[in-house]
Structure 1
Amino acid sequence: MPVADIRFYHLQRQTLEEALPKLMERVVDAGLCAHIKVPDRGMMETLNKVLWDYDPASFLPHDMEGCEHPEEQMIYLSTGDEKLNGASVLVLVDAVASPNVADYDRCLYMFDGRNEDIVAAAREAWKGFKELGGEMSYWQQREMGGWEQKA
């Protein structure tokens, strides 16, 4: 079964740490759960802190790999592919891959446009995802914030 919706988010004006919480707010507001796959434990810990601290007036329910109850998390950060929280949204960060993309309704592929290696990996991922047969879109950050669909 192909993934329904693959969205590439090209980070050019904001860092991942600035952009991810806003996207996760939209996921949670829609009543969905997300699995965020990261390349390493350091990035996982960084994003865990970001999701706690980004807005003192807001809260994003989340936890990370190694927590006691991953199945209860709206947002679950990990380095692995196991879908422990029943997520319908997969977020791939910094060119990580997952063999389980088709197990999700939506995949958000977030990549740093200032890192040429990650951009090259994103181009290859785009080609690979096209073969899965789902809907694909490409989003760039606007000059004044927010996202604009380019493809």
Structure 2
Amino acid sequence: MAGKVFFSVSMSLDGFMAPEAVPVEDVFSPEGQNDPRVQRWMTKWSELQAWAFPQRFFRENLKLGEGGEEGLDNDIARATHERSGASVMGKRLFDAGELAWPEEAPFHTPVFVVTHTKREPWERPGGTTFHFVNDGIDAALDQAR
């Protein structure tokens, strides 16, 4: 039986979803913190995600500490996450997350990574297993359903 597919993304009113490409290693390296490209990337990304990180659900799920805002944004974020049976992402997001997420990745469901890179599934504590799909987005969606 095919599951419902819904698209969840943060996007600015002018269509901005992610900063210009900066190598993931640069974003998380000590040297990268002084790179103007990385600083611009972090500023843009932080502005785009500014609504999410104060939310109690995000703080809990990403292990950012106690507390956080409650209200409609928090309720929507929690409900969206809880109704997800699987996630699909690209390799670039996975690469960034592999470096940044806590050991217990924040999905708690199967995640299908669309990539040309061959790799065995990667199981994390808390119910997240990353599956690497090499034959396109349609194949990833079929597996996620």
Q: What TM-score do you get using the length of structure 1 for normalisation? A: 0.29
Q: Which has the higher contact order (CA 8 A, sep 6+)?
A: 1
Name whichever structure is richer in strand by fraction.
1
Q: What TM-score do you get using the length of structure 2 for normalisation? A: 0.30
Name whichever structure is richer in helix by fraction.
2
